[in-house]
Each structure stands twice: as C-alpha cells, then as structure tokens.
C-alpha cells in the first residue's frame, strides 16, 4: 500500500496502439520510443535500456530518489533489460509478484505470466530469489529459472527455441 502512496509518481498514457500504461518517477531521466515490432524502448541517462513487450505492465522506480531509475516493478508480460557494469553501488532490481532479480551489469529478460516469473540471462550474471523469501540462485549466460510462489529455484540451461520465442516477443 505504501509503495502506491509515494509522492512523485505520475502515469504515462501510452498510445492506444500500444495498449498498456506504465508509471515512471517524475524525476527519472528516461526517454521512450516505439518500434515497428510493437515494443517500447526506454533509454535512461544512467545507461540503462529497457525494452518492453507490447502490453507489458510495469513501473519504473527511483527508490533512492537520486533522479535515476534503480528498479522496475513488472506485473505482466516481458522486459529485456540492459544495465551497464559499474563498480559498487546498489544493484538494479526487477520486482515481480513472485521474484526479485538483481544485477550490477548485464543483459537479461524477465517474463511474468499468471503465477510464474521466468528470468533468462543473455550476458553477465543475475541473482534471482523468491519475493517472499530471500534464498536465491545466480544465473549466468544462457541460464534461466522459473519462479513460482512455492517450490525450489532450479537453474536450467535454456534451449534455443525457448530463447528465440522470448526474444521474438521483445523484438530481438
């Protein structure tokens, strides 16, 4: 409840063609552009790039209020995130109903569908944990994990058909 009451957020209405809405901290320096594939790309001044699948529902966040996004709350569909490597500091996070994925520099995708979150790493390393409990796993390139409300996190090498299907949804 508290997260929705935070001041400084406003809703961005997307074109009716895109068919979804996202909210962004008012002071986060990001610009967006649409692609012919129906995806929306956000480019932020701190080097973060986020590609949103058509219809994705998400909110960009600036938790430490420094004027730069540092997390995304994703409630449906998929995002492809690229975060430049930087020493130290807090990791960039994607929060979903089931999972938290955190990274300091990499390229990865997060997909929310019904009662499951899937995380796939294209490059770098990503820590993934259940949202309700902190135990997690670390994914490397080509690896993914499906996170459900209960059950263990099992890291798997994703097959090319699954990778291709997700990346196609993201215009890649």
Q: What is the pLDDT along the chain (172 residues), one digit of tens a residue?
A: 223 222 222 222 222 223 343 444 434 689 999 987 889 999 998 899 999 999 999 999 998 888 889 999 999 999 999 999 877 777 899 999 999 999 977 999 999 998 999 999 999 999 999 988 767 999 999 999 999 988 899 999 999 999 999 999 999 9
Distance CA 80, CA 123 (A): 12
| 73 token code pair | 């709350």
Please tell me what DSSP assigns to residue 150. S
Range of the domain at 11: 2-169
Distance CA 139, CA 128 (A): 8
User: Phi and psi at residue 162, in whole multiples of 5°?
Assistant: -70, -40
Please tell me what DSSP assigns to residue 55. T
Cβ neighbourhood burial of 97 (10 Å; 0-12, 13-18, 19+): middle
Q: What CATH number should be reported for the domain holding residue 135? A: 2.60.120.1440
Q: What is the pTM of this model?
A: 0.80
Task: Tell me how many domains the chain contains.
Answer: 1
């Amino acid at each position: 409840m508290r997260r929705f009451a935070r001041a400084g957020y406003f809703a961005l209405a997307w074109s009716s063609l895109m068919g979804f809405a996202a909210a962004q901290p008012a002071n986060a320096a990001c610009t967006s552009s649409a692609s012919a594939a129906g995806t929306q790309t956000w480019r932020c001044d701190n080097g973060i790039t986020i590609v949103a699948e058509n219809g994705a529902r998400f909110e960009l966040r600036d938790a430490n209020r420094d004027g730069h996004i540092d997390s995304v709350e994703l409630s449906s569909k998929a995002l492809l995130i690229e975060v430049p490597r930087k020493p130290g500091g807090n990791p960039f996070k994607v929060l979903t109903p089931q999972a938290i994925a955190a990274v300091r520099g990499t390229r990865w995708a997060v997909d929310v569908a019904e009662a499951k979150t899937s995380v796939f790493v294209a490059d770098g390393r990503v820590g993934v944990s259940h949202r309700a409990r902190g135990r997690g796993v670390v994914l490397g390139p080509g690896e993914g994990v499906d996170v459900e409300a209960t059950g263990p996190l099992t890291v798997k090498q994703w097959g090319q058909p699954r990778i291709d299907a997700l990346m196609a949804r993201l215009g890649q």
